[in-house]
Chain A
Amino acid sequence: MAKLILKFEDRVLKEIPVGAGMVKIGRVPDNTVMIDNPAVSSHHARVFRDGDAFVLEDLQSTNGTFVNDNRVTRHNLSNGDVIAVGKHRLVFERGAQEEAVAEAAPSEEAPVLPELGGTVFLDTKAQRELMAKIQAQAAAQGGQPAAPTAKTAVPGAPPPAPARVGVLTVLSGKADQAEYRLETATSVIGKSDTALVRLKGWFKPKLAAAIARKGETYTVTPLGGKTLVNKQPLTGRYELKDGDVLEVSGLTLQFNLQ
């Protein structure tokens, strides 16, 4: 959606969306954008949508409204136009969405999509074509794809083979292995027979802690008994860092990414 970015000396003060309504710019509070500066008239200018165009109109202000350093009374805004009101600047951004949507799903293509009570499903072929278009658009706009987090990378697909795997090395205490590789999505420490790190003894908790893996991110969740990380009691979820020392029910383990 289109918007105006209000700036003062290169500082962004705020962003104002420009939708169907009128955006009024001026010195007094009944304006959408209030600029409290003597150089600005009480009702200085306005921006509104006219069909496909966004129009800037000067409201016979004392000091004038400027677009890209030219004084204007009425002007059809283009993407990137800089509006000067007093010493403040308003940058107009047309927004990618309108064009994006128009290109992604042109109206003549729309009827081809099956109409399913409001919700529409794209089959794999249509999807591939559309995704290719979106990628092309993103590239054309120089848009940085949102950095995929570990979670977005491959939800559902079998976990990828990331470069490193978390390993718990036993520093002290009784355990059935010298080290445990955290290869699965969830690894449990406890007396339970599903546990990776098996605790033995009457008073050990069935489930002491669970370590969840998302790529190279490992989060430990304390579930029962007492768990310490680097000597601090763990009261909630905690993202493990290389070298952290875990103490779980008498067992001391060091976490490393290998």
Chain B
Amino acid sequence: MRLRVGAATDVGQVRKLNEDAYTVIPRQGVFVVCDGMGGAAAGEVASQMTIETIQKVLTSNDNNIPAPAANPSGYLARTERLAEAVRESNRAIYELAQEDRKKAGMGTTFVGVWVEDNIASVAHVGDSRAYLWHGDLMEALTEDHSLVEAQVKAGVIRRDQVEESKVRSVLLRALGQEPQVQVDVSEVPLRPGDYLLLCSDGLTRVVPDSGLARAIAILREPQRICNYLIDTANSRGGPDNITVVVVQVLDSFWQRLWDRLRG
């Protein structure tokens, strides 16, 4: 399995600062998008801190994280490690926010995948999203931790009313807000031809899921997809920072050769 990756971020048309942050570590199959919040540049600090923590924890070779022998949660050790890295980021931001009054209240969303051996481990907190595109079908891998999502689930508002909601920006979960955070995780097998898309809400607020799917179906090349989506979001007002990471899953060279030889 090979991965082809595209990534882009933009401040948008309204904000002065870009508080989003992302990292792509293709060799390790790690991809992360964070959307920071908190005034006076503190949001930028929170999202950047998370990226750094993730890089540090996941690329360190000391496998200090105990491999769960019994694996009680039912997830791969890799998935657990990703979730633990997110919780570690949460603690780091929370502690800094407690020490530094100027940074009080800073926080960030998190969406990240770790792809290895055709299985993607997905972790998320907040309203940044991950999607899987396969065979022209766009599947949401995450569910926003937002008030409007909770209202939709409770049946108080309909999904098509979300856009006009006054409480659209209210998050129910974010990193750095409380000493502990609940991290949603899942696992999804990947096939050659699949695409993963990670993004901040600056994209999904102005481009519907169908628009994301169409961009992938037509453009195909990850970096072109990212550039196109950033342009589209900006042309629709760019109300917030926009970040998008696209990962294309490809057959490995040997796999293709092998398949051809075996007919």
Interfacial residues, chain A to chain B (CB-CB below 8 A):
1, 95-97, 100-101, 104-105, 113-124, 127, 130-131, 134-135, 137-138, 141, 143-146, 148, 151-152, 155-159, 183-186, 188, 192, 194, 203, 206-207, 210, 212-214, 221-224, 236-237
Contacts and interface: CB of A to CB of B under 8 A. Distances in A.
A188 to B, nearest CB: 7
B135 interface: yes
B43 A116 contact: yes
A134 B167 CA distance: 13
Q: Which 3 A-B pairs have the closest CB atoms?
A: A156-B184, A143-B155, A210-B189
B257 interface: no
A152 B153 contact: yes
Given A116-B105, A127-B172, A221-B191, 15 more contacts: A100-B151, A105-B170, A118-B240, A121-B37, A131-B154, A138-B154, A138-B156, A145-B154, A155-B184, A157-B182, A184-B75, A184-B76, A213-B74, A222-B191, A236-B135
Interface of B: 15, 19, 35, 37-39, 43, 71-76, 79, 105-107, 117-119, 134-135, 142-143, 147, 150-157, 161, 164-167, 169-172, 174, 177-178, 182-191, 240, 255, 262
Contact of A115 (B39, B106, B177, B189): B39
A130 B43 CA distance: 25
B155 A122 contact: no
Contact of A117 (B19, B143, B156, B172): B19
Contacts of A223: 118, 189, 191
Contacts of B19: 117
Contact of A185 (B157, B172, B182, B186): B186
B43 A185 contact: no
Nearest to A144: B155
Nearest to B174: A121
B52 to A, nearest CB: 21
A1 B76 contact: no
Given A186-B119, A237-B134, A120 B151 contact: no
A220 to B, nearest CB: 9
B42 to A, nearest CB: 8
B3 to A, nearest CB: 15
Contacts of A207: 117-118
Given A138-B154, A138-B155, A118 B169 contact: yes
6 contacts: A113-B170, A117-B15, A119-B171, A120-B171, A124-B178, A185-B76
B167 A146 contact: no
B74 A183 contact: yes
A237 B186 CA distance: 17
A156 B155 contact: no
A156 B43 contact: no
A159 B154 CA distance: 21
A122 B77 CA distance: 31
B41 to A, nearest CB: 10
Contact of A159 (B35, B74, B147, B165): B74
Contacts of A1: 161, 164
Contacts of B105: 114, 116, 121
Contact of A104 (B37, B71, B151): B151
A224 to B, nearest CB: 7
A134 B154 contact: yes
B118 A210 contact: yes
Nearest to B188: A212
Contact of B147 (A104, A156, A184): A104
A141 B74 contact: no
Contacts of A105: 166-167, 170
Contacts of A123: 177-178
A188 B117 CA distance: 10
